[in-house]
Amino acid sequence: MKKLAMFLLIAVVLLPSAFAQGGEEKAAGAKSYTVNVASAFAPEGPIHEVITNFKKQVESESDGRIKIVIHSSGSLGGEREIVEGLSAGTIEMGAQGIMDLTLYAPQFTVFEEPFVIRDLDHLNKFWNTIGVDLNNQASEKTGIITAGYMIRGARMITANKAIESPEDLKGLKFRLPSMPVRIKVFEAMGAIPTVVDFPEVYMALKTGTVDAQENPPETIYSYKYYEAQDYLILSRHVWSTARYQISKKWFDKISAEDQALILKAWTDASEKVRTEVPDPDAVYIEKLKEAGMKVVEPNMEEFRKLADPVMAEFDDSMWLPGLRQEIMAL
């Protein structure tokens, strides 16, 4: 009887563990999982619409087996934190600009530096030719796969005075991201570069910590910079894109079928929104006008002349030889 009682006691202790293991095996066999998408962008507008379209397509085509959770407005950290998470494999997917290149492959950043891309047509031509190869090369260095892109638009200056020439920039505390080329270019054009993290830009403008900043119109509108700035200067000095990215460390762990499903969903989602909104700037410039901003169209040739010697320095010290010239010749 004592042996029987001992057996029953052991069985009672072990059975819950056995059932738990069986449940884990069943869940693993079903290959259901959750994917986090960390976005540096606001939860509105075409950039975010790509992510929501991606979510719908993946969840639909996987019959709900793959669940997508979107974390917008930098809620999992700014661009740097997102990129570091993607590279380390602690974040599965993300939406950001070129911080991955800035941190891990600066030789490829040239396409998003001042006065390299001329206009919207030039930008699309870049992404359909040189840009594809650059992103593939960068992925080997960053551990991050670029699976799609959306045009953010041209970066434009906002300030509380009209800026029509470099003379108007002199003495202005100008917010810039921590990007050495852009800092040196704006310094050459007369501004006082002031690095402020993206989530803090609005308050920096409101409190007067900085006098001016530059971002695409969609960002200026979404983050309500018009509440702190009177003038929108159509400088178009940099053309920006949002890039939808995947952690290679995470991606290599899922099935080939799921890899194909996810890559196709990013391609489909970004192509759909680019077709629907080919020029986000046109939409958001009008919105900013309606919000009360005064629009200034400066002649940027004077600004370009001051920037050219700075850009030439980085041709030698940072970027792949001849890459800037190759892109500009497209």
Residue 102 inside a domain? The answer is yes
| Three-state secondary structure call for residue 113 | coil
Indicate whether 1 pLDDT > 90: no
Residue 202 inside a domain? The answer is yes
Angle at 300 between CA 316 and CA 105, to 5 degrees: 30
Which of these, 161, 194, 189, lies nearest to 177 by C-alpha position?
Answer: 194
Helix (H) or strand (E) holding 242, with range, is strand 231-247
The residues with which 34 forms a beta bridge, in sequence order, are 67
pLDDT, tens only, 144-196: 999 999 999 999 999 999 999 999 999 999 999 888 999 999 999 999 999 99
Q: What is the residue-averaged pLDDT of the chain?
A: 91
What pLDDT, on the 0 to 100 scale, is given for residue 198?
Answer: 86
| Three-state secondary structure call for residue 53 | helix
- How far apart are alpha carbons 98 and 91 in whole angstroms? 17
What pLDDT, on the 0 to 100 scale, is given for residue 178?
Answer: 87
Which of these, 196, 226, 224, 217, lies nearest to 78 by C-alpha position?
Answer: 196
- Helix boundaries (H) for the chain: 2-30, 45-61, 79-88, 99-104, 120-127, 130-142, 180-188, 201-207, 217-222, 248-251, 256-276, 280-290, 301-317, 323-328
The whole-number average pLDDT for the span 6-15 is 34
- Looking at the structure of the chain, the number of domains it has is 1
Query: Residue 17: how many CA atoms within 13 Å on its side-chain side?
Result: 5
Residue 10 inside a domain? The answer is no
Indicate whether 3 pLDDT > 50: no
- How far apart are alpha carbons 248 and 55 in whole angstroms? 19
| Three-state secondary structure call for residue 93 | strand
Residue 7 inside a domain? The answer is no
* Contact call for residues 205 and 228 (beta carbons, < 8 A): yes
- How far apart are alpha carbons 272 and 270 in whole angstroms? 5
Residue 123 inside a domain? The answer is yes
For residue 139 the two structure tokens come to 């992925």
Eight-class DSSP state of 148: E
What pLDDT, on the 0 to 100 scale, is given for residue 72?
Answer: 96
CATH number of the domain that residue 52 is part of: 3.40.190.170
- How far apart are alpha carbons 74 and 257 in whole angstroms? 30
Residue 4 inside a domain? The answer is no
What pLDDT, on the 0 to 100 scale, is given for residue 80?
Answer: 92
Residue 100 inside a domain? The answer is yes
Phi then psi for residue 127, to 5 deg, are: -65, -25
The number of beta carbons lying within 10 Å of the beta carbon of residue 277 is 20
Residue 260 inside a domain? The answer is yes
* Contact call for residues 152 and 217 (beta carbons, < 8 A): no
| Three-state secondary structure call for residue 96 | strand
User: Which of the four pLDDT bands, split at 50, 70 and 90, describes residue 233?
Assistant: very high
What pLDDT, on the 0 to 100 scale, is given for residue 73?
Answer: 92
For residue 111 the two structure tokens come to 């396409």
What domain range is 119 assigned to? 32-328
For residue 250 the two structure tokens come to 């995470």
* Contact call for residues 302 and 168 (beta carbons, < 8 A): no
Indicate whether 10 pLDDT > 70: no
The number of beta carbons lying within 10 Å of the beta carbon of residue 131 is 20
User: Which of the four pLDDT bands, split at 50, 70 and 90, describes residue 199?
Assistant: confident
What pLDDT, on the 0 to 100 scale, is given for residue 106?
Answer: 94
The whole-number average pLDDT for the span 136-143 is 95
pLDDT, tens only, 83-135: 999 999 999 999 999 999 999 999 999 999 999 999 999 999 999 999 999 99
User: Which of the four pLDDT bands, split at 50, 70 and 90, describes residue 26?
Assistant: very low
| Three-state secondary structure call for residue 163 | coil
- How far apart are alpha carbons 112 and 87 in whole angstroms? 21
> Both ends of the chain: CA-CA distance in Å?
89
